Structure 1
């Protein structure tokens, strides 16, 4: 397999810290209450519906009817969504910057609602650095389905064998590898740096001395 010359980043959990717990702590929820809500009400599968293009108004209305006792917190999934955004994951943004400065083509493939992605774009300037972004909510297909990877390949003429795909979700990385990408399971910026160096991409072996 040839060494990659193109990099594809996931966003949430890799370049951007997103966690609904931030919003529900602000609403006064205890850790126990929040974890129960996320496990049984605002589940990952429910949220994936928004990533795949379902309107927030529709999804929230349906879930509030099913769990009326949690209606206030369910509605907050939309009204308090900006509070779920943490900051940038600086070490990964540093790697992104190094790749761009070296002239490496860099793309993003993200599971993100089309309704909330503009909020992130306003908050994080580096989202404007990409050569192209595929947003799941816009194409109405979400990882780990192969279809969204095919959007990326076709829209931007990417050859999977020449690209590395970085994601914090093992199923997403598994799909990428099956389709011929170099796949990296993201854990920390330091580990990612070592992986990119190993693959011959133009990033420093260690952060600059002033970091």
Structure 2
């Protein structure tokens, strides 16, 4: 049963995931375009490319991680290197309505934080392309912190730094395991399924109005 918005704790700050909340991140779709679905599926079934990316998210040097993995798997050397060389092609487009919610919350005076599994070098690339990434009041990025969601430590580090009690944090993320980890710490959460659903949640909570978007 969903609680009435008036019965929920007050929101002191809103915490955004980035990938698939503010920026679409579906590498498989781009590889389908580049090499065809059949070869892409074979490649992704053979290699754990997302585990490779997790190493970058936890602070590994972007080029070194990807190129070393490519050398270890020479049958797909060129295609693996694209993960580095064509990364900006994969991290797109911005999810416009979600970006509008971010900016609407800021205009309303709510602190907005990023909590994202994001490598150091990829974030620099993303920040050059997406100006809204500079709108956050604070950014908690796994590549800089050396720990990634859903590890409880990354949530604890944010709590210790941000100046808000856990129950005053409203967190939006597209991955159920990341939401569960925040729930376990007493955060308010919203499992992101669409930008419209997220915007409606904020409107129902009285944090923004439709006219803000």
Asked if these proteins are the same fold (TM beyond 0.5), I'd say yes
Contact 1:113–1:136 under 8 Å retained in 2: yes
Q: Deviations over 1:108-140 (max 9, x none)?
A: 001011011011111111111111001100111
The alpha carbon displacement at 1:65 in A equals 4.1
Q: Which structure has the highest helix share of the two?
A: 2
Q: How far apart are the structure 1 equivalents of 2:181 and 2:205?
A: 19
The alpha carbon displacement at 1:78 in A equals 0.9
Q: 147, 157, 161: which one pairs with 1:155?
A: 161
Q: What is the aligned partner in structure 2 of residue 19 from structure 1? A: 26
Q: Deviations over 1:126-182 (max 9, x none)?
A: 111111001100111111111111221122223110010000011001001101111
- SS of the equivalent of 2:120 reads coil
The reply on whether 1:145 has 2:155 as its aligned counterpart is no
TM-score (norm 2): 0.88
The alpha carbon displacement at 1:2 in A equals 1.4
Unaligned runs of at least 5 residues, structure 1: none
The alpha carbon displacement at 1:63 in A equals 2.3
Contact 2:31–2:37 under 8 Å retained in 1: no
Contact 2:52–2:66 under 8 Å retained in 1: no
TM-score (norm 1): 0.89
Q: What is the aligned partner in structure 1 of residue 110 from structure 2? A: 104
The alpha carbon displacement at 1:13 in A equals 0.3
The reply on whether 1:67 has 2:41 as its aligned counterpart is no
The alpha carbon displacement at 1:107 in A equals 0.5
Q: How far apart are the structure 1 equivalents of 2:174 and 2:42?
A: 23
The alpha carbon displacement at 1:95 in A equals 0.9
Q: What is the aligned partner in structure 1 of residue 88 from structure 2? A: 82
- SS of the equivalent of 2:206 reads coil
The reply on whether 1:129 has 2:135 as its aligned counterpart is yes
The alpha carbon displacement at 1:22 in A equals 5.4
CA change 1:96–1:31 in 2 (3 A) is same
Q: How far apart are the structure 1 equivalents of 2:55 and 2:134?
A: 26
The alpha carbon displacement at 1:21 in A equals 3.5
| 4+ aligned runs moved over 6 Å, structure 1 | none
Moved more, 62-71 or 146-155: 62-71
RMSD between superposed Cα atoms in Å: 1.9
- SS of the equivalent of 2:180 reads helix
